[in-house]
A and B are shown apart, each in its own frame.
Chain A
């Protein structure tokens, strides 16, 4: 969109950063980092919080004014993820869910078959489904066809900080998608986030890169700037890569000043 915002389902966002809330050392640090990130949406695992308790993580997040996006982290089957999403809808009074179905405890890579099953079920129940998926363009298309409101391919495994491991696949996903593409997982530092936006992703979701940084608030601000820079670079049109140099000041037509 012309003013730099983008839309998921019926909601417009100005910030292209979505922040995860896992791994922060204290609630105070989390609140300060969320503020510094400029994010308008924060995701949290229903499994890891009790939405009802006073002074809890939910309380603190609500006071920062971000939209809460419950996720199904920790689910290994479609059945479990669907049930968790339903509980999240009750607890947080939102139809939005970041759908995670994990296939393996060591890599935390998505389980593609269960993910698609769960996505289909939840879409049919009226959820706005944002699926965390592998960087497979075919699976991304299947999820979009199933009615997901966005697709969220990984750059590399959750918490690994390994950046975008398959930029080619990411490019294919971006080119074919008619829903927003949000890079989810793998961002280690600011340049990773900038690269995702330069590659045409609509937004980036990250957690560990900020929450486990030595200075989470400083890193949150770095991510905010990186996402802004990456998007601006994408919109402004980068120059082609060339094998040989080309002087930035052309020699043709230059008046000779003697």
Chain B
């Protein structure tokens, strides 16, 4: 690399130490690239540290998002090997659990909605089975007797995102990468039409052949990125509750339990996560009475033993949402500028496939086939087609 004398220089500088930035950096180091992660707070300080860590492509499937579903399914298939390697390299747990998921109806109206969803899942060839209320309760005796039925998706999984982020940071450093905490990126530096480095929030210049923007909801706000090329992400607030089984209590459920209004992740060590609201409130992260109340009510109506849990904390995170809810992964215009953001509700799930794509791109190769539909330039193309409404 060229550059001013005494200036540190890397093959890849990653903006943001969340699950996406760290996964990309770790894989980049493994592929032989010298890599620096600049994280303005601490690893996982954004959405990654608040997420529930559901790896649940089947029960997240939405009408009109079939392409995203294919990517999510591929990502879920990568997780067991990714997890095994991550634990081996870091020596730390991730609490990956292939628990399966049960989407429970709380009443007749829910059942009608879930049957429509189930028909869609079957149409797509997904593994999802309709169960009556009693069948649901045989699998999960903690469910309310009022549950009239639900969908069993046996291969959904979950992981502890905070633990995963710690493991990624450890694996990155062990494999030779550098993570700097408390120092963010103030500016991306370009020379003509190529990236040459960044200036940090401490005024330090760092040279880079490639810069990856993985700053979650803040990815669109970096200085130095040419107008019109900033990724179109917005913060989508999610409130999530942490609870814990009390001494002598029993595990709430073996599987992920979801309803149309909430999800409940019961971990083997007794911790429980109930999430999550979806709010368009800008960068607000206030915990609201309404958010806490609705989530507790939604969980309690299908799992009444929620009332017995110890309430530990309520937190709010900001998911990076893109206009079509799908990730934005790829080259962003100037040579060497890469983007990996917009993962919305699926950042933890999509970390392995995103890292794979970024490593290929940083090496000058094409992104893997399954990621090509999620390139940053797709919005500009659609906006032209629609006459500017987006």
Q: Chain A: residues with CB nearer than 8 A to chain B?
A: 25-29, 31-32, 34-35, 48-50, 52-57, 60, 63-64, 214-216
- The CA-CA distance from A27 to B284 in the complex, in Å, is 19
**A50-B280, A214-B63 known; A63-B234 Cβ under 8 A:** no
- The CA-CA distance from A60 to B282 in the complex, in Å, is 14
CB closest chain-B residue, reference A45: B280
Q: Is the CB of B282 within 8 A of A28?
A: no
Q: Is the CB of A55 within 8 A of B232?
A: yes
Chain B, range 249-283, C-beta contacts under 8 Å to A:
279-283
CB closest chain-A residue, reference B281: A50
Residues of the A chain whose Cβ atoms lie less than 8 Å from the Cβ of B313: none
- The CA-CA distance from A26 to B324 in the complex, in Å, is 5
Residues of the B chain whose Cβ atoms lie less than 8 Å from the Cβ of A60: 323, 389-390
- The CA-CA distance from A35 to B390 in the complex, in Å, is 10
Shortest Cβ distance from A63 into chain B, in angstroms? 6
Residues of the A chain whose Cβ atoms lie less than 8 Å from the Cβ of B63: 25, 214-215
CB closest chain-A residue, reference B379: A28
- Of A26, A35, A57, A63, the residue contacting B325 (CB under 8 A) is A26
- The CA-CA distance from A195 to B62 in the complex, in Å, is 30
- Of B280, B386, B390, the residue contacting A57 (CB under 8 A) is B280
- The CA-CA distance from A139 to B356 in the complex, in Å, is 62
- Of A28, A35, A49, A53, the residue contacting B323 (CB under 8 A) is A28
Question: Does any Cβ of A come within 8 Å of B310's Cβ?
Answer: no
Shortest Cβ distance from B291 into chain A, in angstroms? 12
Shortest Cβ distance from A67 into chain B, in angstroms? 15
Residues of the A chain whose Cβ atoms lie less than 8 Å from the Cβ of B279: 48
Shortest Cβ distance from A135 into chain B, in angstroms? 21
Chain B, range 369-383, C-beta contacts under 8 Å to A:
382
Chain B, range 302-361, C-beta contacts under 8 Å to A:
321, 323-325
- Of A25, A26, A48, A64, the residue contacting B389 (CB under 8 A) is A64
Residue from B280, B283, B388 with most neighbouring chain A CB atoms (10 Å): B280
Q: Is the CB of B220 within 8 A of A55?
A: yes
Shortest Cβ distance from B37 into chain A, in angstroms? 25
Q: Is the CB of A25 within 8 A of B234?
A: no
Q: Is the CB of B234 within 8 A of A53?
A: yes
Residues of the A chain whose Cβ atoms lie less than 8 Å from the Cβ of B282: 50, 52-53, 56
Residues of the B chain whose Cβ atoms lie less than 8 Å from the Cβ of A54: 220, 234
- The CA-CA distance from A49 to B382 in the complex, in Å, is 25
Q: Is the CB of B62 within 8 A of A25?
A: yes
- Of A25, A35, A56, the residue contacting B64 (CB under 8 A) is A25
Number of interface residues of B (CB under 8 A): 25
Residues of the A chain whose Cβ atoms lie less than 8 Å from the Cβ of B220: 54-55
Chain B, range 51-107, C-beta contacts under 8 Å to A:
62-65
CB closest chain-B residue, reference A60: B390
- Of A48, A50, A63, A214, the residue contacting B390 (CB under 8 A) is A63
Residues of the B chain whose Cβ atoms lie less than 8 Å from the Cβ of A214: 63-64, 120
Minimum-distance CB pairs A-B, first 10: A53-B282, A50-B282, A55-B234, A28-B323, A26-B325, A28-B324, A214-B63, A50-B281, A49-B280, A27-B323
Question: Does any Cβ of A come within 8 Å of B241's Cβ?
Answer: no
Q: Is the CB of A56 within 8 A of B280?
A: yes
CB closest chain-A residue, reference B325: A26
- Of B283, B325, B390, the residue contacting A31 (CB under 8 A) is B390
Question: Does any Cβ of A come within 8 Å of B22's Cβ?
Answer: no
Residues of the A chain whose Cβ atoms lie less than 8 Å from the Cβ of B233: 55
- The CA-CA distance from A35 to B388 in the complex, in Å, is 11
Q: Is the CB of A25 within 8 A of B386?
A: no
- The CA-CA distance from A28 to B379 in the complex, in Å, is 9
Question: Does any Cβ of A come within 8 Å of B235's Cβ?
Answer: yes
Q: Is the CB of A32 within 8 A of B64?
A: no
Residues of the A chain whose Cβ atoms lie less than 8 Å from the Cβ of B389: 31-32, 34-35, 60, 63-64
Chain B, range 103-160, C-beta contacts under 8 Å to A:
120
Residue from B120, B233, B235, B282 with most neighbouring chain A CB atoms (10 Å): B282
CB closest chain-A residue, reference B116: A214
- The CA-CA distance from A171 to B343 in the complex, in Å, is 49
Q: Is the CB of A63 within 8 A of B388?
A: yes
Residues of the B chain whose Cβ atoms lie less than 8 Å from the Cβ of A35: 386, 389
- The CA-CA distance from A25 to B278 in the complex, in Å, is 11
Residues of the B chain whose Cβ atoms lie less than 8 Å from the Cβ of A49: 280-281
**A27-B323, A32-B389, A60-B323 known; A48-B280 Cβ under 8 A:** yes
Residues of the B chain whose Cβ atoms lie less than 8 Å from the Cβ of A52: 282
Shortest Cβ distance from A90 into chain B, in angstroms? 16
Chain B, range 217-267, C-beta contacts under 8 Å to A:
220, 232-235
16 inter-chain pairs at a CB distance below 8 angstroms, sorted by A residue, are A25-B65, A27-B390, A28-B390, A29-B324, A31-B390, A32-B390, A35-B386, A50-B280, A50-B281, A53-B235, A55-B232, A56-B234, A63-B390, A64-B389, A214-B64, A215-B63
